[in-house]
């Protein structure tokens, strides 16, 4: 990596820190340090010339874009113009062409590397009180995201199998691993919505290297199969999931009894490979031992819900049925995290017009999400609280409210440090209740506009409208 001006790089980094309400010596500096950014640039071996849109400035402008209300390039560039004028520099062009070209030059690996490094550092520094029985618990789940209907996006991310060509929007599948302790996204994979090798199970197996011995995977019933349990057990990673009733039934009359509706049972290897790699299938043992336990979860105002937990945590003395039930209830946080990054941070519908830019935009959303989670973790540690008890949206609103005050303080480090401590105290006031059993009907409450759904490609629909106008 080469720099044309090392001093300019340092200045730009200080600018990046200030935009995140930080200054030298504050805790956030340890997470997104200059060394972290330099390491990311070194990893991708990226060389850049001195220009307005250096990698650091481009990163900040992109972060500002995904955190803004309208997600527009024009608004992001306008913020850069204001900054340069406030620093006594000449105003750069308000046109978005140079910024878009700078985003295009930076490889996807630059954004993904920084996002992963921020998340990993925070997870490694998590307080022991945030862990489950002293162990790191990771949650996996998948979701989808839409993007503009361009030719390039449509080719890379085809429509859903039940969607008529040219009618719907390109759809991407995203599989992410979240931390239960502090909520950061440690890794993420992007794939097509449909097709062989594009499902959530495949995305999970692509991220196996993230897990180390002693970790725990918390997942839904889709992950309850022989391959997943064996793959993680072989790495020394335990799995807690829910029995998939579509593929298997629990018979507590069999196996080694551990307690009431709690037993150890041997699962036999599938008789057919069903898309598994031949070498992987042949390496699997004929049997694996798993634990099945029926737990009951109380829903206030509803009947007690019963489910069968499947896990590789075999010791009933160390991991009781109630421990398993309480842990699986925490999987609700995974649904909240997905809702947060899709709805609160508006990642549900992206703006990138090319597949490459779509990937970068997703990773920039993840980086912004992890940075906010970092500030939440710092606030929780200061007040001896759990990060999961703090509202993400409340934190985001508090950050936006404090930004003018931070700007007024200027370069006074003592005042900025004092203000930052007040910021952390204000963040912990936004509490969220423990509501793992909450559910909502998937129905629209508001009556939508009476537009007839598009049944033919847009260009064809336009021609039909023009034809009708011509007749009239």
Write the DSSP string, 299-334.
-TTSPPEEEEEEES---TTTS-HHHHHHHHHTTHHH
Distances (CA, A) of 418 to 101, 374, 379, 414: 39, 19, 14, 6
What is the pTM (predicted TM-score) of this model? 0.88
90 vs 27, higher pLDDT: 90
Is it the case that residue 63 has pLDDT exceeding 70? yes
Look at residue 16 in the predicted model and tell me its pLDDT. Answer: 54
Q: Does 261 fall in a domain?
A: yes
Are 195 and 181 contacting, i.e. CB atoms less than 8 angstroms apart?
Answer: no
Look at residue 24 in the predicted model and tell me its pLDDT. Answer: 41
Which pLDDT band holds residue 464 (cuts at 50, 70, 90)?
confident
Q: Does 241 fall in a domain?
A: yes
Find the farthest-apart pair of alpha carbons in the chain and give their distance in angstroms, rounded. Answer: 81
* Interval 253-298: pLDDT, tens: 999 999 999 999 999 988 887 777 788 888 888 999 999 999 987 6
Q: Does 249 fall in a domain?
A: yes
Looking at residue 343, the DSSP 8-state letter turns out to be: I
Look at residue 1 in the predicted model and tell me its pLDDT. Answer: 44
Q: Does 260 fall in a domain?
A: yes
For the record, the structure tokens of 398 come out as 């508090």
Number of domains in the chain: 1
| 3-state SS, one letter per residue, for 208-254 | HHHCCCCCEEECCHHHCCHHHHHHHHHCCCEEEEECCCCCCCCCCCC
Domain range spanning residue 322? 222-329
| Percent of the chain with pLDDT strictly greater than 90 | 41
Per mean pLDDT, which range of 65-79, 222-236, 327-341 is the poorest?
Answer: 65-79
Distances (CA, A) of 353 to 100, 148, 150, 152, 333: 11, 6, 6, 7, 32
Closest CA to 185 of 57, 306, 337: 337
* Interval 303-320: pLDDT, tens: 667 889 999 999 999 999
Q: Does 263 fall in a domain?
A: yes
Q: Does 13 fall in a domain?
A: no
Q: Does 255 fall in a domain?
A: yes
* Interval 134-173: pLDDT, tens: 999 999 999 999 999 888 998 899 877 777 767 778 999 9
* Interval 357-410: pLDDT, tens: 999 999 999 999 999 999 999 999 999 999 999 999 999 899 888 877 776 776
- Three-state secondary structure call for residue 292: strand
Is it the case that residue 207 has pLDDT exceeding 80? yes
Q: Does 435 fall in a domain?
A: no
What does the CA dihedral 63, 65, 66, 67 come to, rounded to 10 degrees? 80
Mean pLDDT of the chain, nearest integer? 83
User: Cα dihedral sign for 227, 229, 230, 234?
Assistant: positive
Query: To 5 degrees, how large is the angle CA 105–CA 107–CA 110?
Result: 125
Distance CA 90, CA 241 (A): 57
Distance CA 468, CA 415 (A): 67
Q: How many CB atoms lie within 10 A of CB 100?
A: 15
Distance CA 278, CA 213 (A): 25
30 vs 395, higher pLDDT: 395
């Amino acid at each position: 990596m080469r720099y044309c001006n090392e001093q300019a790089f340092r200045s730009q980094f200080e600018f990046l820190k200030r935009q995140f309400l930080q200054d030298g010596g504050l805790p956030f500096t340890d997470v997104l340090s200059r060394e972290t950014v330099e390491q990311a640039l070194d990893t991708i071996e990226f060389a850049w010339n001195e220009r307005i849109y250096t990698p650091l400035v481009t990163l900040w402008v992109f972060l500002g874009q995904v955190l803004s209300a309208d997600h527009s390039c024009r608004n992001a560039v306008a913020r850069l113009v204001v900054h340069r004028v406030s620093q006594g520099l000449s105003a750069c062009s308000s046109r978005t062409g140079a910024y878009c070209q700078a985003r295009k030059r930076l490889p996807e690996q630059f954004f993904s590397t920084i996002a992963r490094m921020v998340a990993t550092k925070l997870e490694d520094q998590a307080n022991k009180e945030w862990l489950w029985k002293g162990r790191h618990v990771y949650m996996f789940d998948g979701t989808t995201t839409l993007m503009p209907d361009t030719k390039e996006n449509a080719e890379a991310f085809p429509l859903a199998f039940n969607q008529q060509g040219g009618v719907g929007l390109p759809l991407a599948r995203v599989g992410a691993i979240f931390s239960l302790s502090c909520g950061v996204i440690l890794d993420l994979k992007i794939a097509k919505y449909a097709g062989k090798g594009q499902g959530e199970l495949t995305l999970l197996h692509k991220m196996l290297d993230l897990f180390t011995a002693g970790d725990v995977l918390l997942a839904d019933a889709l992950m309850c199969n022989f391959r997943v349990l064996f793959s993680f057990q072989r790495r020394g990673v335990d799995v807690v999931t829910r029995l998939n009733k579509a593929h298997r039934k629990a018979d507590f009359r069999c196996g080694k009894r551990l307690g009431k509706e709690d037993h150890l049972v041997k699962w036999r290897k599938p008789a057919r490979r069903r898309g598994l790699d031949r070498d992987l299938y042949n390496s699997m043992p004929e049997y694996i031992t798993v634990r099945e336990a029926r737990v009951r979860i109380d829903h206030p105002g509803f009947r007690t819900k019963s489910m069968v937990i499947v896990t590789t945590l075999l010791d009933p003395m160390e991991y009781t049925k109630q421990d398993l039930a309480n842990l699986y209830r925490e999987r609700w946080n995974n649904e909240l995290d997905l809702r947060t990054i899709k709805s609160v941070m508006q990642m549900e519908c992206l703006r990138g017009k090319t597949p490459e830019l779509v990937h970068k935009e997703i990773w920039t959303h993840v980086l912004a999400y992890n940075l906010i989670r970092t500030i939440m973790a710092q606030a929780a540690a200061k007040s001896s609280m759990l990060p999961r008890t703090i509202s993400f949206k409340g934190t985001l609103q508090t950050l936006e409210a404090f930004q003018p005050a931070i700007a007024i303080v200027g370069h006074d480090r003592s005042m900025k440090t004092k203000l930052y401590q007040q910021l952390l105290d204000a963040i912990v006031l936004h509490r969220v209740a423990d509501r793992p059993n909450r559910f909502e009907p998937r129905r629209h409450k508001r009556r939508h506009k009476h537009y007839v759904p598009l049944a033919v490609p847009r260009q064809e629909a336009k021609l039909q409208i023009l034809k009708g106008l011509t007749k009239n």
